[in-house]
Amino acid sequence: MEAGEGGSVAEKLESCGPMKEFEIIWLTKHVLKALDFLHSKNVIHHDIKPSNIVLMSTKAVVVDFGLSVQMTEETYIPRDIRGTE
């Protein structure tokens, strides 16, 4: 896997302050595309946050699948609280 040239969104916010509108739109498109792909494979990430989105030169990548779950054909009912602060 390629390294995140731009660091995480959390690192960018910490070093540069609030993002501009066009950056937010660009980022949102990439994250939604990633979530659409994951959901098409029946995967729930459970921990989307700025530190789990890595900026590349041409895309943003969702990382850290430690809390993710693969849904089965049964109805998915979370049995515990997931995510991090």
Q: List active site positions.
A: 47
Give me the count of residues in the chain.
Answer: 85
Q: How far apart are CA 4 and CA 56, in angstroms?
A: 5
The CA–CA distances, whole Å, from 51 to 24, 64, 70, 73 equal: 15, 9, 22, 31
